[in-house]
Amino acid sequence: AQKVTQAQTEISVVEKEDVTLDCVYETRDTTYYLFWYKQPPSGELVFLIRRNSFDEQNEISGRYSWNFQKSTSSFNFTITASQVVDSAVYFCALNKDGQNFVFGPGTRLSVLP
């Protein structure tokens, strides 16, 4: 069975602080895909990144970076120099075939001015 854990229910930081959102997953598949989605207060779900299980390179996109470590089954998301607009619920998700997505419960990030 597949499972995604986001142990941090809520995080609060002050603007310009760096913040890391944790994601730990469980799967028996050797090929799988990991995702992060952002849900701002307006409610829509925004796709941020997909990572394949056979590519452990970290990725950086502007202030966002992702650290994928198969040895610890983790796919953590770091926001550098956080901004108020980063306030949202962030979901980590896992699937093996594009079909059966398993989502974590989400982490609510509040960035205070």
Of the residues 104, 109, 112, 113, which one makes contact with another protein according to CB under 8 A: 104
In the window 29-68, what residues touch another protein (CB under 8 A)? 33, 35, 37, 43-45, 47, 50, 52
Q: Does 106 bind another protein (CB under 8 A)?
A: yes
CA–CA gap between residue 83 and residue 16 (Å, rounded): 6
Q: Does 113 bind another protein (CB under 8 A)?
A: no
Q: Does 100 bind another protein (CB under 8 A)?
A: yes
CA–CA gap between residue 4 and residue 17 (Å, rounded): 26
CA–CA gap between residue 22 and residue 80 (Å, rounded): 15
User: What's the one-letter identity of residue 41?
Assistant: P
- Give the end-to-end CA distance of the chain in Å, rounded to a whole number: 41
Using CB under 8 A as the criterion, which residues of the chain lie in contact with another protein when the complex forms? 4, 33, 35, 37, 43-45, 47, 50, 52, 91, 93, 95, 97-101, 103-106
